[in-house]
A and B are shown apart, each in its own frame.
Chain A
Amino acid sequence: MPPLALTLIHRLIASLVVLVGVSMLMFAIARVIPGDPARIALGPNATEAQVQALRRERHLDESLPRQYWEYVRELMHGNLGVSLYSNRPVRVDIAQYLPATLELVFAAGLTIVVIGLPVGVLSARYRGGLGDHLGRIASIMSVSTPAFVWGVILQLCFAYLWRLFPIEGRFTATLTPPPPVTGFFILDSLLAGDGGALLDSLHHLALPALALAMAGIGQTARLTRASMVDTYRKPFIEMAEAYGFRESRIANRYAFRPALVPVLTILGLDLAALLGNAFLVESVFGWPGLSRYGVEVILHKDLDAIVGTVLIIATAFLIANIVVDLLVALVNPRIRYAGGRS
């Protein structure tokens, strides 16, 4: 079996174990949060009989292992339970909100790569120069300022004062959104061949994605620079310089590629962290995503929704890590040929 396939199988098995662990942990933690979920859901005027009926319906009157077994049994049928908060199946809620969050996270991830990597490469190539110093200062600023502060700053300047972008939302209220196929407005606009909808989606996405990406841009730029500066000190770079290769060739071919391994690993973790940070940005920009939903269901002690949301986010985290592992293996032959042993 090819080493890459072995790596993939190992990662998938490990991920499955992690997901089972996460589900058990979240199941227990959600039940430790104080408060009776049935009473919270039904309100103060509910009779004791109504509260008991809801407890029975949701198996809340049974032992924790029994509750977990019922949950897993339903999960096997693709049923994540019913939200006490929104009164809808958790699966429906997640299907509603997840694409918005993923669209935001992917856009932010793309922004990190498109801006962070080149800034890091240029800083390393012109290390010690004015551009390098400015790049490093900007990187530190972007890393040290939380995403929600960036959100408010960008919103205030570009949306409120200069009116260049919308203040909030995912689509202009008076326009018709693209027919839902994937739930990703950009993809759906492309599938529908609707240029107006595409531009409107991008127009709404730009500020939240940039706000979410800011810390990642700084971190990626700093890491890329540090990693490349380190690579520049390696003997093979000296050899390339001795051969008289052009600066751009040395930077792009010999210095950048080895430097990419740690950057890719951190990028993978960054992308996963974006799912968590998205809550604040979603709140500032009124972005109807899963992160905001996750916080609301925790506050309402909505047991099934808490576990369902965390499971989905954990799955996204694991997928991002697997993809990064594969990318790293593709970039680095030593890791690739070590296969599942790495």
Chain B
Amino acid sequence: MTLSRRILGGAVASFLLQATPSFAEPLFRLDASAPGEADPDKGIDYIGSVLAFNLYDALVVPGQNGTPVAPHLATAWKIDDDDYIFTLRPDVKFHSGNIMTADDVVFSFKRLMALGKGNSPLFADRVASVTALDPHTVKFTLSGPYAPFLGAVARLPVLDSKLVMAHKADGKFGDMGDYGEAYLSSHDAGSGAYTLVSHVPESETNLAKFDGYFLGVPASAPDKVRIRYGLQPATVRELVASGQQDMTSQWLPPEVMRALAERKDTHLLTDRGSNILFLHMNTQKPPLDDVNCRLALTYAFDYATAMKLVQITDKVSAATPANGAIGKSEFGYNASLPMFAQDLNKAKDFLAKCKYKTPDERKLDITWITEVPAEEKIALLMKANFDSLGFQTTIKGAPWTLYTQQVTKPESTPSLSEVYIDAPTPDPDSILYNMYSSKSPPTWESASHLSDPEVDRLLDAGRKENDLAKRKAIYEQVEARLDAVAPAIFAGEVSGVFVGLNTFKLPPFEDDSKRFSAEEYGLQFRMVEMTK
């Protein structure tokens, strides 16, 4: 009898829960691309960063309105030659109840570097030592001038060292055991506005509001957050349309987004960070080793049509026009440069100056990444534009793993390769140096293989200059110089577009004055305003 009652009760509960509308729950539900990494020293993808920003805090955070970084756990900092001295807030509590001190910062840095994953490359070979001067002061001594360091610190999450070491297991790090790797794969040790309730990579993550957050969490923020991973677009569409999911990921196909956006109970949100669609041109291989040929293609490309290809509604597009390699909300953006637009007369003028004249010399191969179907449309658009100018263009799709291998050598890199790249820190150096300095080892980001002494000089100067105004001027020059030597077609500034139910607002994704200088940081659940 008892079991029958329990079974009946379970059945009723199960059906009722299926039918419960979203506004009845203090729960914010969204989906994301797999896997979802809970350890903040490992995750570098979009949702891994979102988890890190919500569960953990850093000394500084991405700024707003053109400011690269703003104080956070650190109230102030002093730069003395190669020393960066941070003064910490005394009132920050971890989720365990432990008070955050300088020792936690030292531990967090050492753990990140020992693991050698996640954002550790941002600091590799840059930091000579890190010392706790007193409980509320920490000093980083750099191995040489490196002004982007401050931006990189925004990606250094501070961990509760006592909690982590209390849960260390046997491992390869000597006295540190496994550095808490096993524990932090499904638990958190942060001070963020949300705590980790449960985490199954590839499946789901559940978070709960942390009432002891040092900045406080507004009452309108959701009490709980549930993130599901790897859902198919058709499934997401049904979940949102039936009110069972509040926000989608940015990876939905445009047609699904359009269908959802047409509903009266939804609205669109955009994450405009520093993501540019780069159409890299191989500057080491004919015919694009001639800057005139590159500029001809730059002016032949139909930017307006490219924007339409990713248009979601009349008002919202997944891309906006770009004027160079630096995004509008990014530090160093050069507002004086004109937006790129198709100009066939200019294209023909530059082509006339190009040393490659015969059809045989004007052959181009374009590679797009097969995991991103939208890239194929852009590739077809390029083919149409460039063929009409007199080039012979072939298109080939390549899976991501092949692409990354192919573009690291000039001889195997195609004439043009499409890739979306966003800056990992709020500092433009974090993207431009890897991409365009000839001193940087080749990676999938550097498919143009540019070797330009002026670009090298400016990028080096940017690394050495600590004065913000002077740095800004340097990166404005970098952007202008890149436009002149055209290592890529800067096809557009790409926004992550999300569909949300009208049950909430997220100002950093809706109000331009509240956007942050780095992608992902805006998706902070404490900033979500549940309206129903």
A residues within 8 Å of B by Cβ?
33-36, 39-50, 53-54, 85-88, 93, 96-97, 152, 155-156, 159-160, 163, 165-169, 172-175, 193-200, 203, 283-286, 288, 292-293, 296, 299-301
Contacts and interface: CB of A to CB of B under 8 A. Distances in A.
Nearest to A189: B10
A288 B124 CA distance: 36
Interface of B: 3-4, 6-11, 13-15, 17-19, 25, 27, 29, 34-35, 37, 39, 42, 44, 116-117, 119-122, 124-125, 181, 185, 200-204, 206, 226, 228, 230-232, 234-235, 238-239, 241-242, 244, 371, 399-402, 404-406, 424, 430, 434, 441, 443-445
A86 B201 CA distance: 7
Contacts of A48: 441
Nearest to A200: B14
Nearest to B29: A173
Nearest to B41: A87
Nearest to A37: B401
Given A156-B238, A159-B238, A35 B3 contact: no
A39 B441 CA distance: 12
Nearest to A177: B198
A196 B9 contact: yes
Contact of A36 (B10, B39, B235, B405): B405
A193 B232 CA distance: 34
B281 to A, nearest CB: 19
Contact of B241 (A40, A160, A173): A160
Given A35-B400, A96-B200, A193-B3, A292 B230 contact: yes
Contact of A194 (B10, B37, B117, B235): B10
A139 B25 CA distance: 43
Nearest to A193: B3
Nearest to B122: A45
Contacts of B25: 174
18 contacts: A44-B444, A50-B120, A86-B202, A93-B201, A96-B200, A160-B242, A174-B27, A193-B3, A195-B6, A195-B10, A196-B7, A196-B10, A198-B7, A285-B235, A286-B235, A288-B202, A288-B204, A292-B230
Given A45-B434, A286-B235, A166 B18 contact: yes
A288 B200 contact: yes
A338 to B, nearest CB: 46
Nearest to B42: A87
A170 B33 CA distance: 18
A76 to B, nearest CB: 19
Nearest to B226: A173
A5 B244 CA distance: 53
Given A172-B17, A198-B10, A296-B35, A49 B124 contact: yes
A286 B18 contact: no
Nearest to B126: A47
A163 B116 contact: no
B11 A199 contact: yes
The 10 lowest CB-CB distance pairs between A and B, nearest first, are A196-B10, A35-B401, A195-B7, A288-B203, A45-B121, A195-B6, A34-B402, A160-B238, A44-B443, A199-B10
Given A88-B185, A288-B203, A168 B235 contact: yes
B404 A87 contact: no
Nearest to B116: A50
Contacts of A203: 11, 14-15
B18 A163 contact: yes
Given A45-B434, A88-B185, A172-B14, A50 B401 contact: no
A199 B234 contact: no
A155 to B, nearest CB: 7
Which has the most chain A C-beta neighbours within 10 Å: B27, B116, B399, B424?
B116
A88 B201 contact: yes
A42 B441 CA distance: 14
B10 A152 contact: no
B363 to A, nearest CB: 24
A207 to B, nearest CB: 11
Contact of B185 (A87, A159, A163, A193): A87
A34 B242 contact: no
Given A45-B430, A200-B10, 10 more contacts: A39-B404, A45-B121, A87-B181, A165-B18, A167-B238, A175-B17, A195-B3, A195-B10, A196-B7, A284-B234
A130 B206 CA distance: 53
Contact of B232 (A50, A283, A293): A283
A336 B506 CA distance: 68
A46 B116 CA distance: 9
Contact of A40 (B6, B125, B181, B401): B401
A299 B401 CA distance: 8
A42 B121 contact: yes
Contact of A284 (B203, B235, B241): B235
Nearest to A203: B14
Contacts of A163: 18-19, 242
Nearest to B238: A160
Which has the most chain B C-beta neighbours within 10 Å: A42, A44, A85, A175?
A44
Contacts of A35: 400-402, 404-405
A35 B430 CA distance: 23
Nearest to A160: B238
A87 B6 contact: no
A39 B17 contact: no
Contacts of A159: 238
A299 B371 contact: yes
A39 B35 contact: no
Contacts of A97: 202
B202 A175 contact: no
A34 B402 CA distance: 5
A49 to B, nearest CB: 7
B202 A296 contact: yes
B369 to A, nearest CB: 12
